[in-house]
A = this chain, B = another copy of it.
Amino acid sequence: MSTDAAPQSEAQLVETQSATLFKDKPLTLASGEQMGPIAVAYETYGRLSENKDNAIFVCHALTGDAHAAGRHDGTDRKPGWWDGFIGPGKGLDTDRYFVICANVLGGCQGTTGPGSVDPTTGKRYCLKFPFITVQDIVDVHAELARHLGVTKLLAVIGGSLGGMQVLSWSVRYPEMVRSAIVLASAASLAAQGIAFNAVGRRAIFTDPGFAGGEYYDSEGPRVGLSLARMIAHITYLSEDSIELKFGRRLQDSDEFAFNMRKETEFQIESYLHHQGKRFIQRFDANSYLYLTRAMDYFHLGGTEMPLVEALSAAQAKFLVASYTTDWLFPSAQSRALVSALLDARKQVSFIELESPYGHDAFLIELEQLTAIVTPFLGHVATSGDKP
């Protein structure tokens, strides 16, 4: 997460808002199921210009939320998850741009998800929640944009699962998206990524506390969810960063304990256990199941349409960035995407950013990101295809 946030005294105060969409006409999901109404939690930063040409949609990653920037009140210990990148004079400059961020469908931070109450039964959905895909997430967010009076976005931007959403936006709503910024992502999840997700889900499914997903009146699958997070967390770090940050250093002593019951002897162990514990306080296991599955399923064009053809619908200018030490979404996958974009005769800039931080770099290396996004947005804003 961002480490260069503004000091608390200067922080913007923001509020998470909620819109209820698909009240009259339900959304038809990729699965064919219909769904509605759908509540969407969102935040906005900056002001929509009079001619409504300065809106940017931020797509969050797997476990993110609508609270991308600012603080909810002066006593918040931490600002939003991308606060170092969104704000006055920052990468997404709120003096110039109107920035929207919304929690994803299937999530657990305000937008309708498996923990929400199904209006048709009066009970929580749990695993009766419809199967959702990246496309469905984007359909909900496009409706939110329209609800906010935005029919054209200067940019859609996101990393990881957020980058997948950006790609889906670009081909499903070509007329709405003037530029698409895809960070640390790919046109589909590779088998290794599916494998790690599969083990995380297995840990949740097999936790006795999971109770078939109907655990909201009890503690729930705390162990399984924390294991899933620990596994995933390793994939977000690079081999180099984990070595530099922790190496083989011990947590409490200079000497080995020779004690089989001591689970957190190395610093890296203590760190992972801590990450697992923190995560279960803020995330819902059912949402984790649904959203990792959406990530697995994402495959632009699918098996029947070549990627180039799938991308041909897009009208956006693309900016694709990968990170040298990201092994969950390696640069090769971004290069393949860029190659397909070029074959589809799209305008595309690509940069492989140097960073030791692995997949997490898009959340950490914000100066670097600002340095490439600022001129790109300036170029898009002043280019001819205004709304």
Q: Which residues of A contact B (CB under 8 A)?
A: 30-33, 127, 129, 131, 188-192, 194-196, 198-199, 201-203, 205-206, 208, 223, 227, 230-231, 234, 237, 239, 242-243, 246-248, 254, 256, 258-261, 263, 265-266, 268-269, 272-273, 276, 289-290, 293, 296-297, 299, 303, 327, 330
Contacts and interface: CB of A to CB of B under 8 A. Distances in A.
Nearest to A188: B248
A199 B330 contact: no
Contact of A202 (B206, B227, B290, B330): B227
Contact of A230 (B202, B256, B266): B202
Ranked 8 nearest A-B pairs via Cβ: A31-B258, A131-B258, A198-B269, A206-B223, A191-B242, A199-B230, A191-B246, A191-B268
Given A192-B239, A268-B195, A201 B263 contact: yes
Given A239-B190, A266-B296, A272-B195, A261 B127 contact: yes
A279 B386 CA distance: 60
Nearest to A304: B254
Contacts of A296: 265-266
15 contacts: A32-B258, A131-B258, A191-B243, A191-B247, A194-B269, A198-B263, A199-B227, A199-B230, A202-B276, A205-B263, A208-B208, A227-B227, A231-B231, A256-B297, A260-B290
A245 to B, nearest CB: 8
A268 B198 contact: yes
A125 to B, nearest CB: 10
Contact of A127 (B32, B194, B247, B260): B260
Given A195-B268, A203-B227, A239-B330, 7 more contacts: A190-B239, A190-B248, A191-B266, A195-B269, A199-B272, A239-B327, A260-B289
A200 to B, nearest CB: 9
A129 B261 CA distance: 11
Nearest to A330: B239
Nearest to A190: B243
Contacts of A131: 258-260
A370 B191 CA distance: 31
A198 B239 contact: no
A242 B30 contact: no
B260 A129 contact: yes
A254 B199 contact: no
